[in-house]
Structure 1
Amino acid sequence: AKVIYRCTPQWFIAIDRHLHHLDPKTRAEERWEDEGGETNDNGHVVDDFPTLRETALEEIDRVRFVPEKGRRRIQSMVEGRPDWLISRQRAWGVPIALFVERKTGELLVDKAVNERIVAAMREEGVEAWDESRAGEYLGEGRAPDDYEMVTDILDVWFDSGSTHAFVLESGDWPDQRWPADLYLEGSDQHRGWFQSSLLESCGTRGRAPYEAVLTHGFSMDAKGKKMSKSLGNTVDPLKVMEQYGADIIRLWALSVDYTEDHRIGDEILKGVADQYRRLRNTFRYLLGALDGFSDAEKVEHGDMPELERYMLDRLKRLDTKLRQAIEDFDYNSYTRALVDFANEDLSAFFFDIRKDCLYCDDPDGLKRKSYRTVLDVLFHQMVRYAAPVLVFTAEEVWGTRYPDAGSVHLLELDDLPEMWLDEGLAKRWTELRVLREKVNEAIEPMRAEKLIRSSLQAEVHLSDIEAMLRDYYDRDDLAEVFITSRVHFEKGTDPIEIAVTDNAKCGRCWRHLPEVKEDGDLCDRCAEVVE
């Protein structure tokens, strides 16, 4: 328990004093008019200037906060805070380099004295602030014995609040500019770095040092408890990287809602590793399917089958969503959209439907060349989309296909053509995908009962198909989409009926078709390709 309290004089920054030292032209939001009264050195009326608190609150209203609740958090703190105590009685730190007249107790304000102090510290560092050099700084006409050299140091939060100046205005990084685009830290920094930076910058420059502030939560253990070495519930990133790889940690971090506290543990990481495996398999498929692809094989958009044009429509919509997510700092939505597209649109849909075309169609056929053209587009976009999330995997994937093309992280996103968007096409294929799901659900019980081993052994009888779909797609189109051997349109009591085919199986593509007389014979398509 404390038994002695020592009261010592301290240095404060007045929160409610008018910022009369600032030139109104330095402020982006305010202009003041001279209407008499006390003026500053530039001739502007002091009372026309806002206080430091008012300026900070105005800037809080202007700055973008992610998440938005951060605005109210720092706003309430600034509204109710006292003057800022900036002095500390320590032997080491950044000195408050001031002189106070012993007789009057008044602060010495002299531009020439300040310039000599600044020059010495710039050359020698904080060690230049030494009592033996008081006369050197005070100059002729002032006796060192008449002045007290302040030995207090600055609060470290004032140091951190000044980082915007010595980083962005130092000239060491000429491509950087003031103010900063973004300040990023934990949610506890509304009371710390975010606020000290705001007050220091508003007091010296009349505005916030940042355009946006992003705050994140903290990592908890799998049960939502704060990590502690004493509890033995910490997660060692190095061990995670050794077991899963560094990209797993990035994928986890970008998959959670970073604005809140988030959990991490073995079971959670196993789920993330499964997501990673699926993304990696998507790239593995793309690399294999594009083996030997060249520009000579490319097909123009207007000449492609509907499915390929639909996938380009889907890609364009994904591109728009991902770009917006980046603008919104919504990395959770970015990662989820990327993973969902890879799993649902590509692996479970597009790749699944077109694998027969890839493996069995004529290599010079329009459908196969169109498919590979779209795969090439997908590769270039997906590896760019994945690069911020899976930095090492994206580099590996890019280098596998283009070993001499430099780093994937030096690439920019391509602007996808607006003409790829097709509302009518998207509507038809959305309905077709719903129908495909219903067909798969109808086939699954037969597979479970081992009446069939593959959906290619099934024939689908549709009695309630939408007229729009019937007008656009024939039976063979739908059989390919459903990955069944045949589709029939007929009237019946059930919208979807599944029957086991009586047709023999092609020995090459494994479809069951009427022209195949015996299992192992070739269907007409395969026979033509083989010849």
Structure 2
Amino acid sequence: MCADTTTPETSDVDYRDTVFLPETDFPMRAALPQREPEWLARWEQIGVYDRLREKPGRRPFTLHDGPPYANGHLHIGHALNKVLKDMVVRSQQMMGKDARYVPGWDCHGLPIEWKIEEQYRAKGLNKDDVDIVAFRQECRKFAEGWIDVQREEFKRLGITGNWADPYLTMDYHAEAVIAAEFMKFVMNGSLYQGSKPVMWSPVEKTALAEAEVEYHDHTSHTVWVRFKVVQTGASGGNLDEVNARASNLSGAKVVIWTTTPWTIPQNRAVSYGPSIPYGLYEVIGRPEQSTAVIGERLVLSDALAVQVMAAAKLDDTMYRRISDVTPDELGHVTLAHPFRAIEGGMGEWDFDVPMLPGDHVTDDAGTGFVHTAPSHGDDDYQMYLKFKDDYPDFKLTYNVEPDGSYRANLPLFGGQAILTPEGKEGPANVSVIKQLAYTGALFAKGKLKHSYPHSWRSKAPLIYRNTPQWFVAIDKPLDDGLTTYGETIRKRALMSIDQLVQWTPQTGRNRLYSMIEARPDWVLSRQRAWGVPLTCFVKNGAQPTDADYVLRDAQVNARILAEFEENGADVWYVQGFKERILQGLHDPAAYTQVFDVLDVWFDSGSTHAFVLRDRKDGSEDGLADLYLEGTDQHRGWFHSSMLQACGTKGRAPYRGVLTHGFTLDEKGMKMSKSLGNTVAPEEVIKEYGADILRLWVAQSDYTIDLRIGKEILKGVADSYRRLRNTMRFLVGNLAGFTDAEKVAPQDMPELERWVLHRLAELDREVRKGYAAYDFQGVFQKLFTFATTDLSAVYFDIRKDALYCDAPGSLRRRSTRTVMDIVFHRLTTWLAPVLVFTMEDLWLARFPGADSSVHLQDMPDTPADWLDEPLAAKWAQLRQVRRVVTAALEVQRTAKVIGASLEAAPVVHVADTAILSALKSLDFAELCITSSLQLTADPAPDEAFRLPDVPGVGVVFELAEGEKCQRCWQILPDVGTHKHPHTCARCNDALG
């Protein structure tokens, strides 16, 4: 059956030129790295993306691009993200939609500003000495350069989109819209200036958003500090029973534990747990090296007392528990600050320290008490908000400067750095510890390695620092007419998450919901230069709590927007801008212009407005069908977009959210340049081609972290080669095929109708999979179909008909008709994944100046091709076929035969229904044997069997007759026809 083109046995006639072997220009070797750029140039030349937009009558589908940051070459995570987006866009387009994709870039913010500052520092210059507009223009130029680089790197991955007109957050219109979106918060009253602790980078001298924070191991000083009880009982001396018991604590010391000794000068309270069991302990012995004092009494959590004493080098013989201490008693206790009356303290710490109940206090670690510095921690700040009106000395402090040093006039510690400008530890911690030891407040000290927040840009540690910042109140009812999903931003966001958004995977919903449910107000301001400024003015002499503190004037806003549209946000910093904007409306001298810039997450969170709403290729309703980013964007772009849109649109800006995992090396380790385990997209493309990288994405489960490395890529390349060989055989056997050759499905043999059934099944599964963004599932189904159903079964069986049947035979015409149908479906089904290879395959059949598989839709597949009874029958036939082919493989391995055509097996089938089904067709043709006998007789003991196919036994027999020199079947009639050494079929085909 013409299984290959090996020279047949010696004969008088060579029939090789009479068989119909595959003909195609589709090469066996892909040479993707060399050839892919040619297709990229071709797509640009024929304008594929623009031509797709011209197709009429299609329902729009908009994937809104989460903007990458415009600095540095792409890493493998970028490639994963953009390939997933491309597969979404292409598959939606080929399923009949108008799938739009406008790529974009995030251009403002600290990373670029930091790069320019580094350049300045290298030249010995100070950024603050440079005109701010000139500095901003250098930042803009830096971003422009990287946008051009990244655009070409993205395009090389085969990403389709409007590359000629991307969106940039630094475009003048974008800056104007970002300012306009900010001013909506000004006008709806949700914007306020407050003072609270925020995550602060002393190195970069700015507040950071949570999404700009990463956690690394860090070794911190730890201290156990005594706070002396100086007062017990309620004021006025009217002691009830609790006050009486609390009086027993007079002179005792409450011990706290902290990993930030530098915050002790800012202490204003000590918090205790309302449900934690406490005890009063007395030190009765001590080793020489301990800081404990014999006779002192300490209040500790019972669960942590042993650990605390051990930290002071006390074993259980050196202390004793005197009595219970209830949380109620602690509420009647007042403490002294550890630096109270300290020499040189100038009265700075001579105030009472209240003990306050806090639900955040646990007895999991520490002492059961939390030193509370409301300027340097969120839990501490929440305690401040709750109790500030009850305790006059419970105040926010402003002891820490933007550079991470204490204010110059702070007694004892003035000017000392907590962190140096290089991000290293300054002297502050050690100085505080020494002073604690000097006052006798230091009970123990140590060091602890733990996970600690760092800046994702400078990699330096961060601190919580109290500073005046601008916030959006997310729980304030808004009277803006957008209350369908709630009156507050938080309620709108939570309602959107539950009712309006489809989550892929569903776990994304839970993650974002819990984050927004628990988050504080949104910090918008940054103390930087490169960004969109907070376009507002504050009234001189007014307090932030005053109703007229922020100027709210629609005419002023309109003037600002007009300036930004024409000149960009730089104009805010031009001398005289305030006077020009306020002239004729308000007295410029009565207002101060705000020069903080917006958090870049507000920039990217506003992109829905200037991309989806404002662009012609945006979205008709200003909403995206899909946002697609990594799981880190639950606290980043998904989060900020949700908050921003809920404040200005009243709902989420997206209908669907898809999240993917991170990329790891082959061992599951995080990629790091220092470890040398990074995989650069350009290196993969250089060795394998972009289609292999795309196939890696399609074969992976993107909902979890993805591994990549040399061995994994080799496996992907092997899968690609197997698929390519199948597709090459397909296109090669369609050479010269025309519509005149087509056969109607009802006239086809059963084998062809079974393939049509499989196509109908796959069409449903592929469309369902693409609609659910299940690329792994789609590819697995198509790969299995191509390599198993087609290569191992259908093509293997039909090689004989393709090569040796007469061109007009029904069997050959039916085969080629089905192969044409398969070709159109496989090329379009796989085109969203293997963009280059499917184009190569398409052009091998349909060359032409304007031809492209990416201009096609997935063909409609008739539902009546489905034939479940036929599929069930063929499932049984294939099981029996497995037994036959396995039996023949035994003989081939033993070198009894060289090819299956040398066999004429006897197949014993016990099930009469299956036997009848086998006899309804040419089972020898299916098994690729020259002859085959079917029988219901019981199989003899020596028959070959497979354990998982009961009731089937195969007895091997050699085929009888002479070998046809054209098709290689061994048949009794060979040599009895007009053409020498041919069988009847081949003799007739030769005419």
TM-score, shorter chain, exceeding 0.5: yes
Deviates more, 1:198-207 or 1:489-498: 489-498
Counterpart of 2:478 (choices 2, 5, 19) is 19
Unaligned runs of 5+ in 2: 1-261, 263-403, 408-464, 544-548, 941-951
Q: Deviations over 1:379-412 (max 9, x none)?
A: 1111111211111111111111111151110101
Shift of 1:498: 2.8
Correspondence for 2:467: 8
Q: 1:89 corresponds to which letter in structure 2?
A: Q
AA at the equivalent of 1:231:
L
> Compared with structure 1, are the counterparts of its residues 57 and 476 closer, same or farther at alpha carbon in structure 2 (3 Å cutoff)?
closer
**Separation in 2 of the partners of 1:132 and 1:153?**
19
More displaced, 112-121 or 509-518? 509-518
Q: CA RMSD in A?
A: 1.9
Aligned: 1:74 with 2:504: no
Give the corresponding residue for 1:521: 981
> 1:50 corresponds to which residue?
487
| 2:937 counterpart of 1:479 | no
Which residue of the partner structure matches residue 436 of structure 1?
A: 881
TM-score, with normalisation over the residues of structure 1?
Answer: 0.92
Contact 1:100-1:108 at 8 Å conserved across structures: yes
Label 1:449 to 1:359 Cα distance change in 2 as closer, same or farther (>3 A): same
Which residue of 2 is the match for residue 151 of structure 1?
595
AA in 1 matched with 2:987: A
- Cα deviation per residue 1:457-476 (whole Å; 9 max; x = unaligned)? 22222222543343344386
Code of the aligned partner of 1:12: F
2:880 alignment partner, SS class: helix
Alpha-carbon shift at residue 483 of structure 1 (Å): 1.0
1:92 paired with 2:530, answer yes
1:193-208 superposed matches below 5 A: 193-208=637-652
Bigger Cα displacement from structure 2, 193-202 vs 390-399: 390-399
Distance 1:508 1:474 in 2: 27
For residue 668 of structure 2, the aligned residue among 217, 220, 224 is: 224
Q: Which residue matches 1:34? A: none
**Is 1:125 aligned to 2:125, yes or no?**
no
Decide whether the 8 Å contact of 2:901 with 2:959 is kept in 1: no
* Aligned residues of 2:903 and 2:959 also touching (Cα < 8 A): no
CA distance in 1, matches of 2:771, 2:814: 33
2:221 corresponds in structure 1 to: none
**More deviation, 475-484/52-61:** 475-484
- With over 3 angstroms needed to count, the CA separation of the structure-2 counterparts of 1:138 and 1:294, relative to structure 1, is same
Distance (whole Å) between structure 2 residues aligned to residue 506 and residue 468 of structure 1: 34
1:249-264 alignment to 2 at 5 Å?
249-264=693-708
Q: Residues 178, 467 of structure 1: CA spacing in aligned structure 2 closer, same or farther, 3 A cutoff?
A: farther
Determine the C-alpha separation between the residues in 1 that align with 2:718 and 2:405.
59
Partner in structure 1 of residue 763 of structure 2:
319
Aligned AA (2:406): I
Residues 204-233 of structure 1 show CA distances to partners (whole Å, capped at 9, x for unaligned) of: 111100011111111111111111111111
Indicate if the aligned counterparts of 2:613 and 2:619 stay in contact, CA closer than 8 A: no
Code of the aligned partner of 1:9? P
Shift of 1:517: 6.3
Instruction: Report matched runs for 1:402-441 at 5 Å.
Output: 402-404=846-848, 406-441=851-886
CA distance in 2, matches of 1:171, 1:392: 30
Deviates more, 1:412-421 or 1:139-148: 139-148
Q: What are the within-5 Å matches in structure 2 for residues 24-35 of structure 1?
A: 24=483, 27=484, 30=485
> Normalising by structure 2, what TM-score?
0.50
Aligned ranges for residues 438-477 of structure 1 at < 5 Å?
438-474=883-919, 477=922
Which residue matches 1:245?
689
Deviation at 1:350, TM superposition (A): 0.4
Which protein is richer in strand relative to its size? 2
Does 1:379 find its partner at 2:823? yes
- Distance in 2, matches of 1:502 and 1:160, equals 74
Residues 73 and 310 from structure 1, CA distance in 2 versus in 1: closer, same or farther, beyond 3 angstroms? Answer: same
Residue number in structure 1 paired with 2:938: 492
- Partner Cα separation in structure 2 for residue 462 and residue 430 of structure 1: 17
Q: State the 1:433 CA deviation.
A: 1.0
Asked if the contact 1:98/1:108 (under 8 Å) is kept, the reply is yes
Deviations 1:441-497 (A, max 9, x none): 222221111111111122222222543343344386100111112221220235322
Match of 1:178 in 2: 622
- 1:83 pairs, out of 512, 515, 521, with 521
Alpha-carbon distance between aligned partners in 2 of 1:180 and 1:434, rounded to the nearest angstrom? 48
- Tell me how far 1:91 sits from its aligned partner: 2.5
Aligned to 1:64: 502
Please give the alpha-carbon distance, in whole angstroms, between the structure 1 residues aligned to 2:910 and 2:794.
22
Alignment-derived partner of residue 177 in structure 2:
none
2:744 to 300, 318, 338: 300
Q: How many aligned positions are there?
A: 508
**One-letter amino acid of the structure 1 residue matched with residue 907 of structure 2:** L
- Alpha-carbon separation, structure 1, partners of 2:605 and 2:920: 69
Separation of aligned partners in 1, 2:960 and 2:585:
112
Partner secondary structure for residue 658 of structure 2: strand
Q: Following the alignment from structure 1 to structure 2, what is the Cα–Cα distance between the partners of residues 57 and 475?
A: 63
Over residues 352-402 of structure 1, what are the superposed CA-to-partner deviations in whole Å (9 max), with x where a residue is unaligned?
Answer: 001111111121111111111101111111111121111111111111111
The 2-side partners of 1:91 and 1:375 are apart by 63
The 10-residue stretch of structure 1 (439-448 or 58-67) with the greater mean CA deviation from structure 2:
439-448
SS of the residue corresponding to residue 463 of structure 1 reads strand
Query: Partners of 2:803 and 2:892 in 1: how far apart?
Result: 24
Bigger CA drift: 169-178 or 500-509?
Answer: 169-178
Q: What is the CA–CA distance in structure 2 between the aligned matches of 1:437 and 1:499, rounded to whole Å?
A: 14
Deviation at 1:176, TM superposition (A): 5.9
Does the CA contact (< 8 Å) of 2:730 and 2:819 recur in 1?
yes
SS in 2 for 1:210: coil
**Structure with greater proportional helix content:** 1
Per mean C-alpha deviation after superposition, the further-off stretch among 431-440 and 502-511 is 502-511
**Aligned residue number for residue 107 of structure 1:** 550
| Secondary structure, counterpart of 2:858 in structure 1 | coil
Cα distance in 1 for residues equivalent to 2:727 and 2:777: 21
Larger Rg: 2
Indicate the residue corresponding to 1:359 in structure 2: 803
The superposition leaves residues 132-164 of structure 1 with CA deviations (integer Å, 9 ceiling, x where unpaired) of 222322232532221111111111111111111
Report sequence identity in percent.
49
**C-alpha displacement of 1:527:** 1.9
Check conservation: 2:904, 2:959, Cα contact below 8 A.
Answer: no
Distance 2:605 2:871 in 1: 52
Q: CA–CA distance in 1 between the matches of 2:783 and 2:763?
A: 13
Matched, 1:508 2:508: no
Q: Is the 8 A contact 1:255 1:331 kept in 2?
A: yes
**1:276 aligned partner:** 720
Q: CA-to-partner distance for each residue in 1:230-282, whole Å, 9 max, x for gaps? A: 11111122222222121111111111001111111111111111111111112
Gaps of at least 5 residues in structure 1 are: 31-48
Q: Distance in 2 between matches of 1:480 and 1:455?
A: 11
CA distance in structure 2 between the aligned counterparts of 1:161 and 1:375, rounded to whole angstroms: 49
- Contact 2:665/2:707 (8 A) holds in 1: yes
CA contact (8 A) 2:504 2:658 kept: yes
What is the letter of the counterpart of residue 654 of structure 2?
Answer: Y
Distance 2:590 2:488 in 1: 33
Q: 118-127 or 287-296: which moved more?
A: 118-127
Q: Residues of 1 paired with 2:728 and 2:475: CA distance?
A: 62
Structure 1 residue matching 2:655: 3-state secondary structure: strand
